[in-house]
Structure 1
């Protein structure tokens, strides 16, 4: 019955006139949801890595930058481009820095989100500066389409808020150039100027916006495939992806790589006595408890029915605090008995010689934490933690 109702609602939405009130409200709701979506840099990079497309995507970005560099280089030989000594010097500086960006993108194995933001900021300023160096503002307006490269990059790797800032910045730059053409240069062919603005605007705004809107929705599906639907924590697949990112960032640090295996005591008995709805509530409450107990950098996953894993790179004080927090009983409801969890913690000190060495150490720690958890479970009682020292 529910399926039929859902199909009927889908048919109603599909049959709405594009310019009707309900259609506008639906589109507005989608736009608000699109605007509020989180940055997708890590999610999209994991998706590319899963599909084996990291190198191909990097090649496309590098190729776009090379194209921009070639365009700026060719303008040096045109009377429409930079003609004064200062303008040509500034043009050369931009070309050199862009080439350096190309080299970084071509050789750097892993790019952080902060580096990506720096790349976007440089590109926004660099393209605007390159356009202002043109002696003919009409040529500068035509070459404003170079902004579409950055808009496309943001669409794939970042969020709608950054895209909105990009569009606002481009609007300011283009209006400045159009004002120069119409007032300073006293250009009289307004229809041609408007046609050029519309053409450039379509390349700068429509294509990146469409990509951003569609990709942000698709990225939600990719993100959901890495999350446990009941708790909102990572699932087994999501944990594996996030652990790799964690170790890529922290393998050189002199901190402890910590893995905690968590299991709910007598969970089957809770399910049998109170029913699955209470069992689900217990799992949700325990998941929330783990989030409260672990540090802000911890990765927390539900990898089975009542099995959880915590992974973090921290100091000994944080490990002690985590063990202390997890010893306390978990209260899920006044109508339910306190829930005890058994926790096993394994740790190893960094730094590691390489990411691969850290990745090899992780499954060993997970097995040791799992064995420690079973030892804690054998002791019984509330939230007993067995901490293991590993070399």
Structure 2
């Protein structure tokens, strides 16, 4: 039980406690945790001697705190839970609970490197059918390793940041032209945030996942499909992806997701030794995609073929170092049904089957459109864990 009012049934109760960074007119940027419709000022709590994290909670990003490692993450989480459940702390803690409406949420961590995977078999199959009709939808290597690409960390932005429509080259029947993308899309994804680094030349094992990964954040990897289609062969995604990637303002700690781990799909053929994760577990995260306030899809993360632990092992198999603040995303989350896909490319089958949004037939994003991706996970004792939403509105090219 908690002494904080209004938390009954909330997906942001004391069983969750996602981390973020906020500021107000009176407070410089600092770390907080979401508690219902409030944010608990952890920087202020540490300054008051209520919690201890080597002075990292008063800093303007989560990186220094995340670098402390799991024992410190666990200790802080336990202490925050105690502060919010033991009424003896109410007088000291209550002034540090600020209404969310009164704070500005910032990018929660400095992104060191950004890697994006391609781990949904359903999504990869759909895209293969759309882009390569008449050919096998999955390329021969797809079930042997988690396909991914190295993205652009500098264009990762916090939820609510306007998304400028990108420009670039795209193909037309008359030849390539340069201009604004006309097939602007989303990708509903789940991101994993690295806290503890690893040295160059070291290979992190799948079993090291919980030692390195601090938490989970929802991701929208905006995609210019026309720019992407013209440039992606032979080297893969570049300008069609690098203009913006939105992440939620709240990072859900792995410890809040203990009840959400479930058996992952069987893998055939057997994977390479370094990709074996025992137990072979995914996460039962249930996403929702809203287009101008209208729900159009509900992608199921539990169906992902490659697990987060396997992705971590693969991105370091060549000796690439992990850095605090590294973000690696799952790739588009899609299920078996059309209403479970995580991109409008799939929802409209490459723009050939428009969907109705707001009474209009739509295929791709128009200026002024807003997309919001939200999600939940099962929590302990029948509770629900809310994942911080990620939202963005398209604006005209500059």
* TM-score, reference length from structure 1: 0.25
More helix by share: 1
More strand by share: 2
* TM-score, reference length from structure 2: 0.25
* Greater C-alpha Rg: 1
